[in-house]
Structure 1
Amino acid sequence: MMESGASSAQLVDDFRKPSYATQYLGAFSACMGALSFGVAIGYSSPAGSMLLKPENMTYNETDGELYLSESQNSWYGSTINIGAFIGGPLGGLLIGTIGRKGAMFSTFVGFLISWLLTIFAQNFAMLISSRIVVGLATGITCIAANTYIGELASVDIRGTLGSGFQLMVVIGIEFAYIFGAIMDTWQLLAVVCMCPVFVFFVLILISKESPVYLLSKGKEKEAMASLQFFRGKDYNIQRELDMMRADMEEARENKASVKDLVVNPHLLKPLTISLALMFFQQFSGVNAVLFNLTTIFKEAGTDIPETLSSILVGLVQIVATAASSLLIDRAGRKILLTGSAIVMAISLAALGFFFYEKSIDQADSLQWLPLVSLMLFITSFSIGYGPIPWLMMSELFPRAVAGEASSLSTMMNWSMSFICTLAFTPLQDVIHDYGVFWMFAAVCVMNVAFCALVVPETKGKTVEEISAYFGAPSPLKSGPNEKPKLDISIIS
């Protein structure tokens, strides 16, 4: 009877759900870093429009005001990517040395310094410095916040909590667009955009450190207290704690290097796919569009005010990003990526058509087209190509090389974003607005072929199954003499 009673108690523990409130609070605290990062991205669109030197204005007419040329404004919008390129690997180092919470504290300092540099900027160099510093904070945030959320979340809500990061980024972008329409100066806009950083600081201050990090440092009691906090006082954490120990031991035994990614075909293939996804994500032109959205609408010269158009596009982005979290596990990665690339190609081609017609004074009846095209573009990106490359980055690789592969993919993303956003304005001068958007559309067409022929479907597949398909040395078997049959098509 005692054994039966013990079994019943164990059964109750096995099926008892963890508490969600503390997990949502922890994830929200980290996601305030994502909102701060989104605000910084969105700021360059309205602020860039304010900073651009008015046409026909000479130096003496500025009365000491700081203005930027088109070339300087292009650098101002793009240099955040330089900082983020460095911040990504730095974030990987920091989360292992000072912890996930400590790394997020460091981003608060970076965000604060960057906004103070902006508010008190006296010259172009101070503005550029502010963007590099905020880029550093952004790169660290992407690593630290996502790692923290993944480690505090229970399996049953990990996807939901993880999708909150991207949602808060786009909410931050919309925050900057809305206040950019209200504020009269870029300095005052910077003061408002600095406010979420203090909320981030307070929330991180009261948050618990990641139980995984504490366990990795041998702090057993602190790790148990942290995990108990996130799971609820009545939840039995012992099994999950044992799994954490086992995972850490496995990672230590099977630790691999960047060289292993290159020399082993079963690692090189998924790495190539991940890097290509990051390339196509950025060369869809999304950041070039978001960083210059107000200027694009101003150049379009439509009847709708450019600030209102930017706000509407931002609202659409929020709704689409929220919808993507519901669709990813239902529709699958491959179909959403392919559909996203198709719609982006069509919307960019339509936007290029508008600017071509405008160049020959034939766009009077197409005043609606820029707003509709960009809303369609952002919607399709937010549902597919926005979140999925980041999600697949964590799915394609075995645990032993996940960190190195993720760092390379992140660096590819930020470097491509820098090139794309910096080249946007010069390309407008060389091949005109319509040429730039048609170029992005052509890249999206190539992307459709890549997604259809090369990208694997990872929905419902374990890391081990995916690794086995790519030819890992010890593939899983689905039967005594049978190799796993996965719904993955790839060019060898």
Structure 2
Amino acid sequence: MSFTWPSSTMDLFTSPNTPLNRMMSDFEVSLLGSLSCISALLTLPFVGILMEKFGRKYTCFALYSLQMISWIIIISFNYVEAILLAIFISGITSCTLLIIPVYVSEFCQESIRGSMASSVLMFFGFGMLTSYLLGGLVPYNVMNYITLGLAGVGGLLITLVKDSALYLMIKGREREAALSIAHYKSLNANSNEVEQEIKHIKRLLNPELDEATPEEEMLKPELKPKEKLSVWRFMKKSRSSRRALVVCLVLYSATVFQGLVVVQVYAAPLFGKAVPSMSTTLSSVIFAIVTVVSGMIAAYLVEVLGRKPLMVYSSVAAAVCCVLLATQIQFEWGPNWTTAVFIYLFCLSYTIGAGTIPYIYCAEVFLPEIKSFASIFAMEWAFLGFFIVLFIFNPLVSYIGLGGVFYIFAVVCLLTAIFCVFFMPETKGLTVDVIQLQFAKPRSLNKT
């Protein structure tokens, strides 16, 4: 929720009535919106190490603790520098956008894996909604105390979950893995179904194929019993893993540069500029509601239509919305309320596609040997992009206008759709080994 907190406070921090020791400068406002991305970018590799050493559960608990620390700093100090420090610390918790989809994909059945992983983004929308409501309805200090309480509740709830069976098996804790599977499937730990799941995980970690092709040997170096490849050597030998990583990087680029993140972070001032006749609080709350509803739609459609069609169609729809929005802002050919409608339609299109699919896709396509490395690398790329687009947004609007910025977003949306048509394999309902073989086949990226 701290990711959208700046939207509720930017106008307050730059007004003469600021609760801080002084008004924020334009540069500091840009940092307020983008600094969390820098902290996530810098700390994500260390979070990946924690995730592999201590597991998904305890890493999430550590991130909740940092979230609480950031709110305590905001409550305790009124210095501009302290607020920016708190935003930097809270940005580290953005790494949950990596951990949770990976965690969910590790214990869900293939038939519901996409829907469950996409629920992460749906609940991100609930956090946005809560942030906008609090920012518009309660005083600044009260809002901060409530968000501190919510972070504390989240930390307590995370202690109730069990770590993923895949992680536990990697660590050689087979009995705990069986208990984890039994917990989530409401079965006895000694049941036949749990035993079959354990065998399936063992096969993923130690594959033994009777008739292995050369490509499969590259994908699964454990077939060569005396050689264990490092991540770098694995990536060098496995063409399919390299292709998968390139596709994930492009998809995350779409997540960033299709541009909805600037609407999320700068919602209040953006709606104030685009739709001055509407209350900024009302506009922001409706925007958050649209995000939540879009997440629910995405969770349903991702298993009905699949990842690739959803990414293609939603990107085309988002491009159309951006063009309509840009022309409306530039030429004002319709009433003010149409601007808000186009923003909401853009949010709907984006969330169903680029706002959801890349997180699911990256959690699905990599083998366990390189899953952590590849996911972290792709997320690092995304956070670097988030920082760039958020930091330059205000100067870019001053230079080319708000309409011009949305023309750029439209071009990115269209290029995303074209790329996905030709280079994005479908992963719906497939196990990771089958997905990797899709990437390995010659010209496989040109097929659905």
- TM-score using structure 2 length: 0.87
Q: Which residue of 2 aligns with 1:242?
A: 199
Q: 1:301, CA displacement in angstroms?
A: 4.3
8 Å CA contact 1:336–1:384 kept in 2: the answer is: yes
Q: 1:147 to 1:252 in 2, by over 3 A?
A: farther
CA distance in 2, matches of 1:49, 1:276: 34
1:117: Cα distance to partner? 1.7
Q: 1:226 aligned to 2:180?
A: yes
Give yes or no for the alignment of 1:315 onto 2:272. Answer: no
Shift of 1:312: 0.6
Aligned to 2:356: 387
Q: Residue by residue, what CA displacement relative to the aligned partner does 1:433-458 show, whole Å, maximum 9, x if unpaired?
A: 22222222222222232223333333
CA 1:338–1:209: 2 relative to 1, 3 Å: closer
- How far residue 134 of structure 1 moved from its aligned partner, in angstroms, is 1.0
The CA deviation at 1:262 is 5.3
Identify which of 26, 41, 44 aligns with 1:85.
Answer: 41
Q: For residues 326-358 of structure 1, give each alpha carbon's deviation from its aligned partner in whole angstroms, at most 9, with x where no partner exists.
A: 11122122221122112212222222223323x
Could you say if the C-alpha distance between residues 228 and 470 of structure 1 is closer, same or farther in structure 2, counting changes exceeding 3 Å?
closer
> CA, structure 1 residues 159+388, in 2 after alignment: closer, same or farther (shift >3 Å)?
closer
Which of the pair has more CA radius of gyration?
1
5+ unaligned residues in a row in structure 2: which ranges? Answer: 208-219, 223-227
Kept in 2, the 8 Å contact 1:277–1:389? The answer is: yes
In the superposition, relative to structure 1, how do residues 283 and 263 fare at CA in structure 2: closer, same or farther (>3 Å)?
farther
Q: What residue in structure 2 maps to residue 343 of structure 1?
A: 317
Tell me what 1:44 maps to. Answer: 6
**Does residue 366 of structure 2 align to residue 397 of structure 1?**
yes
User: 1:189 matched to which residue of 2?
Assistant: 143
| 1:98 and 2:60 correspond | no
> Quick check: 2:115–2:302 contact (8 Å CA) kept in 1?
no
1:121 to 77, 89, 92: 77
The residue identity in structure 2 corresponding to 1:204 is I
The verdict on how the C-alpha distance between 1:232 and 1:156 changes in structure 2, with shifts beyond 3 A counting, is: farther
Deviations 1:146-166 (A, max 9, x none): 333333445554444322212
Match of 2:425, SS state, is coil
**Aligned partner letter, 1:240:** E
- 2:110–2:430 CA contact under 8 A, matched in 1: no
Say which SS state the counterpart of residue 320 (structure 2) adopts: helix
Structure with the larger RCO, 1 or 2 (CA within 8 Å, 6+ apart): 2
Task: Tell me the alpha carbon deviations over residues 150-187 of structure 1, each in whole angstroms, 9 at most, x when there is no partner.
Answer: 334455544443222121111111110111110232x3
Question: How many Å separate the matches in 2 of 1:219 and 1:182?
Answer: 49
Residues 455-487 of structure 1 show CA distances to partners (whole Å, capped at 9, x for unaligned) of 333334444444334436xxxxxxxxxx9x96x
Letter in 1 for 2:264: L
What SS does the aligned partner of 2:88 have? Answer: helix
State the alpha-carbon separation in 1 of the partners of residues 419 and 250 from structure 2.
9
Aligned equivalents of 1:339, 1:156: Cα separation in 2: 22
Which residue identity is paired with 1:126? A
- SS at 2:446 equivalent: coil
Q: Distance in 2 between matches of 1:204 and 1:367?
A: 44
Deviations 1:106-146 (A, max 9, x none): 1121100111122233322212211111111221x233333
After superposing the two structures, state which structure 1 stretch, 321-330 or 206-215, moved more. Answer: 206-215
Cα gap change, 1:148/1:398 in structure 2, threshold over 3 Å: closer, same or farther? closer
What is the aligned counterpart of 1:180 among 112, 135, 152?
135
TM-score w.r.t. the length of structure 1 is 0.80
Distance 2:382 2:128 in 1: 19
- Name the amino acid aligned to 2:126: I
Q: Is the 8 A contact 2:122 2:296 kept in 1?
A: yes
Partner of 2:93: 137
Q: Distance in 1 between matches of 2:427 and 2:120?
A: 21
Is contact 1:261–1:405 with CA below 8 Å preserved after alignment? no
Report the Cα offset of residue 399 of structure 1: 3.9
Q: Is structure 2 residue 101 aligned with structure 1 residue 146?
A: yes
Moved more, 435-444 or 452-461: 452-461
CA distance in structure 2 between the aligned counterparts of 1:209 and 1:245, rounded to whole angstroms: 17
Counting matched residue pairs gives 427
Number of the residue aligned with 2:241: 267
> What is aligned with 2:161?
207
Query: 1:217 and 1:267 mapped to 2: Cα distance?
Result: 23
Residue aligned with 2:3, SS? helix
Residue identity matched to 2:133 = I
Matched, 1:371 2:326: no
Q: CA RMSD in A?
A: 2.6
Which residue in the other structure is 1:479 paired with?
none
Whole-angstrom distance in 1 between the partners of 2:43 and 2:404: 33
Contact 2:366–2:436 under 8 Å retained in 1:
yes
Distance 1:367 1:71, change over 3 A: same
Distance 1:464 1:247 in 2: 8
Contact 1:397/1:405 (8 A) holds in 2: yes
Query: How much does 1:255 deviate?
Result: 4.8
Cα gap change, 1:266 to 1:159, in 2 (>3 Å): closer
Q: Which whole-Å CA distance do the structure 2 matches of 1:256 and 1:208 have between them?
A: 29
Q: Aligned equivalents of 1:317 and 1:63: distance in 2?
A: 30
Displacement of 1:252 = 8.2
Residue 240 (structure 1) shift: 1.4
Which letter maps to 1:166?
A: L
Give secondary structure in 2 for the equivalent of 1:207: coil
- Give 5+ residue unaligned stretches, structure 1: 1-38, 473-482
**How far apart, in 2, do the equivalents of 1:215 and 1:452 lie?**
37
Query: What residue in structure 1 maps to residue 29 of structure 2?
Result: 73
Which segment is superposed worse, 169-178 or 238-247?
A: 238-247
Amino acid at match of 1:455: M
Query: Aligned-pair distance for 1:418?
Result: 0.7
